[in-house]
Each structure stands twice: as structure tokens, then as C-alpha cells.
Structure 1
């Protein structure tokens, strides 16, 4: 456990230093209007045998994206179930407490998505937790040691500022932390469930 804790701290510190790299301008190849996406505010996008996405405004559905000709369409792919509302501490500021009054606890605000052979993983920006979603839709929370570490380093302290993106590279897990401060967290997969 101590090794994992130290690894997370070192990874956050190294990731925040950044690595210089050449940046090349992107070239638009094509663009598509995404049917059935109105009002969803899609946040995460990944490729798992097909393009899939997640919406911070819908806690229950992972969407798939079909592309045909000049059109693209969004349809439900996996209906998630089984995620309990995580336990968490009280908001640190009065303004956060007031904002929480207008947002139901069940609003997970999924912002990132990635997949491995054994399932799809979604990142809750609100609760700073990762859930594993099985093919049948059952979802469980993974342990979140990284979440407490990054709070001590100054991340996720402001309201609605959490992990926005998640990607797997071999056995490493990269989490993009949203503004004030922005950062990249490098950690290892923790497969035990809560």
C-alpha cells in the first residue's frame, strides 16, 4: 500500500512538470453532425471495437457512434446499473454546499471513458472515482487511492473540478485533471472493487 501511495505522488509530481514536444497543427479530414446527441454534452470518447462515448448528463448509458457516408448517429450501447452513490466528505465551502443542494447525489457526471479486454471504465468527475462496467451493464466502483492523494497536492479542491479524461497505455492509467490546476495523473490499474 505504501508503494502504491508513493508511486501516485511521484507520478503526479512528474506529470505536472510536463515534457516538451513538438506540436503540429491538426488538419481537418472530415466532420459529421451527430444525430441524437442534442442536449447530452458528450464528454468522453474512445474506441472499443467501435466508437463509444459517455455523457455527464446521463449516468445510465454508454453510447455507440455509427458512421455512414456523410452522417453519424448516436445510439444507446450499454445500460449501466448497480452503482451506489459513493460516500464522501462534506463540501469544504459554503458555496459548494449550496450548489450541491441543486444537484442530486445520483448525478455522477461521467467525463472520461476507456476500455480494456475485461470491460469499459468510466470516470466520475463529481466523485473522483472510476467505475468498471461489464458487458451486461453491471457497474462497480474501483478503489480510489489516487483520489485522496491528488487532493493533498492541490487538485480537485474547487467545485466541479475533477478528472475529465482517462486513457490506458499498457498497464499505466493516465487521468487528465481539470483546471485550477490542470495536470496529468499517472497511476496503475487498481482492480479491486469497493
Structure 2
């Protein structure tokens, strides 16, 4: 009977010590990273869905700007080919490849949005204005979603690397750090927009 009492007294102590080793907090933090990643994916998908409509609207006004339209269409197709699942979020090369493809699409969209400067009729086209506004809103939402994702990655990575959660993270989950998104190379430079309209 004495042994049973001791076990009853030790059970809460064992539960507390295990709880302090990340048994619950590590998977909770990882699920938060995955949820933020899902939100970011939906924003990228929204942009991908809007781009063809924007291209078609601009085609009607800017037929001679086919190189811009081709570049946007190609960048969208390329971005769609590079996929990244939640299981890949701890692979720096896969995260970088995905980020680079999405950044190329962002850079390709900028001249498309600025076509209205070369084609004043676009300024009055409600479809163009609506789509442009939606693309701009989506780009802003992507920035927010990327920030939220990076913050959740930072919290997760900190949790799995600090005591006492690091114990449970290693022993029970084999947890690896997740990879945050970084700015694409050259992102600090404004893209050059030139439609050769001078002269």
C-alpha cells in the first residue's frame, strides 16, 4: 500500500516535469507555424488567381507591350511549379526556391501595374482599376502573412532550442528548426519600369 501512495504522489510531479519538457508546447508551436504557412499559401493562391485576369484586361489596351505580359504570364507559371508543403518548412533550399519563384512573380507584376502611365485609357477602365487594387491588396496581405509566418517560426525555433522544451523537442519529436522567409536578393532596389514610350 505504501508503494501505491508513493506512486500517487509522484504522478503529478512526473506530469509537471514532462509538461515542462515541451510535450504539449512543441507540437502547439509547430501547428501554429503550419497554420501561418497555410494563411500565406492562400494569399499566394489569391494572387495567382488574379494575375490572369489582370493580364487579359491589360492586353486589350496594351497590345504592343507583349513582352511585359509574357514575362508576367511566365513568372506566374514558374511560381506555380515550385511548391512547398508544411513538411518542407525545415529545408532551407526548398524554402529559398519557393521564395525566389514568388519574388520573381512580384517583380514581374510591378511593370504591369504601371502600364496605366503609358496608357491613360487604362486609368478609366474599372476592371483594370479593380484588379490592380486587388493585386495591391493581395501583395500587402502577403507581406503581413509572411511576417506572421516568420514570427511563428521564430517562436517555434526558440522553443525547440531552449530549456526545458528542448528536451522534449529532441527526444520525443526530433524537432528541426523551421526556415523563415528572407527578402529576395535585390529586393532593396526598385525595379526599373520602361515602356519605351519616349520619343
TM range (shorter): under 0.3
Larger relative strand fraction = 1
* Larger Rg over CA atoms: 2
**Structure ranking higher on relative contact order (CA contacts 8 Å, 6+ apart):** 2
Larger relative helix fraction = 2
TM value normalised by structure 2: 0.20
